[in-house]
Structure 1
Amino acid sequence: MADHRTLPLPDYDHLPIGGLESRVRALTAEEVEELLAYERDHADRLPVTQLLTARLDQLRSGAEPTSGDPGALRPEQHGRRSGSPVSPATSPQPMSPPPHGTPDQRGKPKGDRT
């Protein structure tokens, strides 16, 4: 059984599937087999095993590893933030419930109409 520290991809356990898909293209068939065995022994995630099996089939059918850097930064390490920043300056102004009320707060009567 392989140890996670000796796998061909550093921090394999923390890679998102999208990052894994592009990074396995640089691996040899033996390295993909090692990852597949590790995946089956540990998390056994179906999308990951399918991805690794498909890449292994490609390599066995004559595909060559493409140039790439298996040690490249993971997408989540780029230091960029996604989404909109939340702060008091960007928060909406507090509002009162509509006059007809909300499920948790009843509406206020308009007064006596005669």
Structure 2
Amino acid sequence: MADGGRSGLPLPDYDHLPIGGLESRVRSLAPEEVETLLSYERTHADRLPVTEVLTARLEQLDAGAEPTAGDPQALRPEARAGRHGSPVSPTTSPEPHSPPPHGTPDQRGRPKGDRT
């Protein structure tokens, strides 16, 4: 299989989810789906934090927890809309300053002259 089994995963963007997004989104899965992810993880990246999240969720489901809606938008890499952060403007930019006496990568420092 060309995609390494990813097409059959219950979370199509699984490989790109950060742990926080995985924790939230895995809550909506049935036990069989969590087991599918756990099996995939163990045969591919086998990341300890991820296997711990999936194993803990399986234990919760085995103890009687029900799948919930979770947060389907939680940290979804494909849902990055627009830019975030502070806008840069002349009022938020730092004041220009001289390079340090030893220079910068694009402007070398001046030689000290002959020392004896």
User: TM-score, normalized by length of structure 2?
Assistant: 0.71
> Match of 1:23?
25
The root-mean-square deviation of aligned C-alpha atoms, in Å, is 2.8
User: Are the structure 2 counterparts of residues 62 and 81 from structure 1 closer, same or farther at C-alpha, using a change threshold of 3 Å?
Assistant: same
Please say if residues 24 and 71 of structure 2, whose CA atoms lie closer than 8 Å, have aligned partners that are also in contact.
Answer: no
Corresponding letter in the other structure for 2:34: V
How far apart, in 1, do the equivalents of 2:71 and 2:24 lie? 10
Structure 2: where are the runs of 5+ without partners? 104-108, 110-116
- Percent of residue pairs bearing the same amino acid type: 66
Larger radius of gyration: 1
User: Are the structure 2 counterparts of residues 91 and 4 from structure 1 closer, same or farther at C-alpha, using a change threshold of 3 Å?
Assistant: same
How far apart, in 1, do the equivalents of 2:25 and 2:74 lie? 10
> Match of 2:114?
none
Alpha-carbon displacement from aligned partner over 1:6-35 (angstroms, at most 9, x marks no partner): 100111101111111000001011100000
User: TM-score, normalized by length of structure 1?
Assistant: 0.72
Offset at 1:91?
3.0
The answer to whether structure 1 residue 52 and structure 2 residue 50 are counterparts is: no
Corresponding letter in the other structure for 2:102: D
> Higher mean Cα deviation, 50-59 or 77-86?
77-86
Structure 1: where are the runs of 5+ without partners? 107-114
Corresponding letter in the other structure for 1:52: L
> Match of 1:41?
43
> Match of 1:111?
none
Offset at 1:94?
1.7
> Match of 1:104?
102
Please say if residues 9 and 37 of structure 2, whose CA atoms lie closer than 8 Å, have aligned partners that are also in contact.
Answer: yes
